[in-house]
Amino acid sequence: MPSNQQILLDNRPVGEAVASNFKLVDSTTPALQDGEVLVRHHFLSLDPYMRGRMNDSKSYAAPQPLGQVMQGGTVGEVVESRNTRYPVGDKVVGMGGWQQYSVVNANQPGALRKVDTTHVPLSAYLGAVGMPGVTAWYGLVKICEPKVGETMVVSAATGAVGSAFAALSKARGCRTVGIAGGPDKCKYAVDELGFDACIDYKQHQTAASLSKALKEACPNGIDGYFENVGGMVLDAVLPQMNAFGRIAVCGMIAGYDGQPLPLSHPALILMQRLKVQGFIVSEHMDIWPEALTELGTLVATGKLRARESIAQGLASAPEAFLGLLKGRNFGKQLVQLI
Query: pLDDT digit string (tens) for 109-123?
Result: 989 999 999 999 999
Mean pLDDT of 218-246: 97
> How much is the mean pLDDT over the chain?
95
**Helix (H/G/I), strand (E/B), else coil: 239:** helix
**Helix (H/G/I), strand (E/B), else coil: 287:** helix
Closest CA to 233 of 256, 260, 208: 208
Minimum mean pLDDT range among 87-91, 229-233, 259-263: 259-263
Domain 3-127+306-336 has CATH 3.40.640.10: no
What is the Cα–Cα distance from 163 to 155, expressed in whole angstroms? 10
**In the prediction, which pLDDT does 116 show?**
94
**In the prediction, which pLDDT does 305 show?**
87
**In the prediction, which pLDDT does 162 show?**
96
- Give the phi and the psi of residue 224 in degrees, each rounded to 5: -140, 135
**In the prediction, which pLDDT does 146 show?**
98
**Helix (H/G/I), strand (E/B), else coil: 303:** coil
pTM over 0.85: yes
**In the prediction, which pLDDT does 57 show?**
80
Quote the CATH superfamily of domain 131-282.
NAD(P)-binding Rossmann-like Domain (3.40.50.720)
Confidence of residue 58 (pLDDT cuts 50, 70, 90): confident
Measure CA 144 to chain center: 18
Whether 256 has a pLDDT exceeding 90, the answer reads no
For helices 131-138 and 288-300, angle between their N-to-C axes, nearest 10 degrees: 110
- Give the phi and the psi of residue 188 in degrees, each rounded to 5: -60, -40
| End-to-end C-alpha distance for the chain, whole angstroms | 18
What is the Cα–Cα distance from 177 to 157, expressed in whole angstroms? 8
Closest CA to 75 of 18, 24, 126: 126
User: What's the DSSP call for residue 260?
Assistant: -
Q: Are 1 and 28 contacting, i.e. CB atoms less than 8 angstroms apart?
A: yes
On the question of a common fold for 3-127+306-336 and 131-282, the answer reads no
Mean pLDDT of 241-249: 98
Adjacent-strand bridge partners of 226: 154, 248
108 Cβ neighbours under 8 A, 6+ residues apart: none
Give the residue extent of every domain in the chain: 3-127+306-336, 131-282
**In the prediction, which pLDDT does 60 show?**
74
Confidence of residue 234 (pLDDT cuts 50, 70, 90): very high
The CA R_g of the chain, rounded to the nearest whole Å, is 20
Mean pLDDT of 250-267: 88
Minimum mean pLDDT range among 9-13, 62-66, 70-74, 167-171: 62-66
Mean pLDDT of 139-155: 98
Closest CA to 235 of 270, 258, 265: 265
Percent of the chain at pLDDT > 70 equals 100
**In the prediction, which pLDDT does 259 show?**
80
Confidence of residue 59 (pLDDT cuts 50, 70, 90): confident
**In the prediction, which pLDDT does 112 show?**
96
**In the prediction, which pLDDT does 182 show?**
95
For residue 62, count CB atoms less than 10 angstroms from its CB and return exposed for 0-12, middle for 13-18, buried for 19 or more: exposed
- Give the phi and the psi of residue 311 in degrees, each rounded to 5: -90, 150
**In the prediction, which pLDDT does 257 show?**
76
What is the Cα–Cα distance from 124 to 133, expressed in whole angstroms? 9
What is the Cα–Cα distance from 200 to 187, expressed in whole angstroms? 10
Mean pLDDT of 56-75: 90
Whether 236 has a pLDDT exceeding 80, the answer reads yes
What is the Cα–Cα distance from 226 to 185, expressed in whole angstroms? 18
Mean pLDDT of 181-202: 96
pLDDT tens string 300-333: 999 998 899 999 999 999 999 999 999 888 889 9
Whether 224 has a pLDDT exceeding 90, the answer reads yes
Integer CA distances (angstroms), 243 to 133, 277, 278, in order: 28, 16, 19
**In the prediction, which pLDDT does 299 show?**
93
Mean pLDDT of 21-46: 97
